[in-house]
Structure 1
């Protein structure tokens, strides 16, 4: 069952996520954000989720604020092949869930600290995810 904090925070996030997703699709969102594409675990359809930009070289770090309560985390657990739109470019990668990683400590290493701090504040059960991106070619 989803926690009370999760339900309250996600209700507020819905409008923000729609606006951010639109801006990311159009290429006009701030660089602090990226767009994660997972494959729906039931439908098999592409699903797009705005996330904080945690790209460091060929590794993309993501701290899922609500852990496995989030549908996109459940999707990538079933189908770890994902794509991430960073700026105006899509990059393919493979997601790896790291349940033993200290998500709060990891969030302090991310490039955009104001966004990471909001995630720490609003998160109900943070979970680290590493996405191994395919090399630029």
Structure 2
């Protein structure tokens, strides 16, 4: 799959930020606006951790993947929808559902942490909504 120029530029910057945020989330140091998403690597079968915005709403976790199907974690979800999210220091399991007909920009405007969602909208190349139905 050919990735867009915007995707390549933004992800170059995000790569450093994600490493720092991932480390902070693992240690419980990151702000509540962020959570850790665990998917299963589609090739390796190993757990993969990606920092994402905190979209928790009761037993549903909303996620706007700002690069859509260009993102490795989205491809992992499409391969295996069983995921976990670490919210408030606690892992919760769930099943992810990709919603191609949902309006991801409108969805991002409903997110609790609007400063993070606004940054995501600015960097978005192919936004896509994902709903995670949490079971625990």
Distance 2:116 2:55 in 1: 10
What is the aligned partner in structure 2 of residue 101 from structure 1? Answer: 102
Q: Could you tell me the TM-score, scaled by structure 1's length?
A: 0.98
What is the aligned partner in structure 2 of residue 126 from structure 1? Answer: 127
What is the aligned partner in structure 2 of residue 3 from structure 1? Answer: 4
Distance 2:112 2:78 in 1: 25
What is the aligned partner in structure 1 of residue 53 from structure 2? Answer: 52
What is the aligned partner in structure 2 of residue 89 from structure 1? Answer: 90
1:73-125 per-residue CA deviation (whole Å, 9 max, x = no partner) reads 00011100000000210000000000000000000001100000001000100
| Secondary structure of the structure 1 residue equivalent to 2:48 | strand
4+ residue segments displaced more than 4 Å = none
Root-mean-square deviation (CA, aligned residues, Å) is 0.5
- Tell me, which stretches of 5 or more residues in structure 1 are unaligned? none
What is the aligned partner in structure 2 of residue 33 from structure 1? Answer: 34
1:46-97 per-residue CA deviation (whole Å, 9 max, x = no partner) reads 0000000000000000000000000000001110000000021000000000
Distance 2:89 2:131 in 1: 21
Aligned residues: 135
